[in-house]
Amino acid sequence: QVQLQESGPGLVKPSETLSLTCAVSGYSISNGYYWGWIRQSPGKGLEWIGTIYHSGSTYYNPSLKSRVTISVDTSKNQFSLKLTSVTAADTAVYYCARAGIQLWSGGFDYWGQGTLVTVSS
Amino acid sequence: QSALTQPRSVSGSPGQSVTISCTGTSRDVGGYNYVSWYQHHPGKAPKLMISDVTKRPSGVPDRFSGSKSGNTASLTISGLQAEDEADYYCCSYAGSYTFEVVFGGGTKLTVL
């Protein structure tokens, strides 16, 4: 059974960098599939942040592209999110998820439980 | 404002059918068969219900079905059950100018 678990600070100060890691178990990232980050701000809908392949190829939400970096560490079977220059608008529950085996196809079929990140001084 | 338009809420009685629409454009819903639907109970992880417009993942009841016509995709839930009450989100690949994924604003399903 594929399982994903997000980890990282729950509180980040404005203008600083948000860093989260998604540990994957039950499946080797190196075997394929794309992996992504999605967030949900309080009272709002889901927002795609970006997607990565085990080779390191990345695709980002154009509205966040200038602040986002997603990376993968196949030796630890995990992938990570960095979001710079955060503001209160970045307060959200952040989810990591497995995307399709082919880019853009298959939807996000396995999700982490999500982690709340609050941006506040 | 979300890229894909969904009704804010729909409702139905147990046993009835409801359909949730998801309207986009030719650069997303209308242009590709990469529409997916998610069920989201507050406080839990979203669950994939439909992928690639019509595909139902293993374990999802066949009461859930997806379709698409032009720039509008739809999720139909037949034989409504109390546990179907949740938020539902559509999602699509959006290409042409950029490579990205867009979500709808979500629809709250109430089982009366």
Flag if B102 and A100 touch (Cβ within 8 Å): no
Mean pLDDT for chain B overall: 94
The pLDDT assigned to B98 comes to 75
Q: Rounded mean pLDDT of B17-23? A: 98
Query: Minimal Cα–Cα distance from A97 to chain B, Å?
Result: 10
Q: What is the pLDDT of residues B31-79, one digit of tens each?
A: 999 999 999 998 899 999 999 999 999 999 999 999 999 999 999 999 9
Question: Could you tell me if residue A104 is left (phi over 0), alpha (psi between -120 and 50 degrees) or otherwise beta?
Answer: left
Cβ contact B89:B33 at 8 Å: no
Residue linked to tokens 């995709």: B73
Flag if B45 and A114 touch (Cβ within 8 Å): yes
The pLDDT assigned to B3 comes to 84
Flag if B101 and A106 touch (Cβ within 8 Å): no
C-alpha dist (Å) from residue A98 to A7, A30, A54, A107, B48:
16, 13, 12, 8, 11
pLDDT class for B2, splitting at 50, 70, 90? low
The pLDDT assigned to B1 comes to 62
Q: Is B100 an interface residue toward A (CB < 8 Å)? A: yes
Q: What is the pLDDT of residues A4-51, one digit of tens each?
A: 999 999 999 999 999 999 999 999 999 989 999 999 999 899 999 999
- Does A100 have pLDDT greater than 90? no
Among chain A residues, the shortest Cα distance to B50 is held by: A107
Q: Rounded mean pLDDT of A81-87? A: 98
For an interface test with B, the pick among A95, A98, A108 (most B C-beta atoms closer than 10 Å) comes out as A108
Q: CA nearest B100: which of A75, A103, A23?
A: A103
High-pLDDT (> 90) share of chain A, %: 90
Burial class (CB in 10 A: 0-12, 13-18, 19+), A79: buried
Q: Rounded mean pLDDT of B6-30? A: 96
Q: Rounded mean pLDDT of A62-84? A: 96
Rounded to whole angstroms, how far apart are CA atoms B37 and B77? 12
Cβ contact A38:A97 at 8 Å: yes
Rounded to whole angstroms, how far apart are CA atoms B6 and A81? 29
Cβ contact A50:A60 at 8 Å: yes
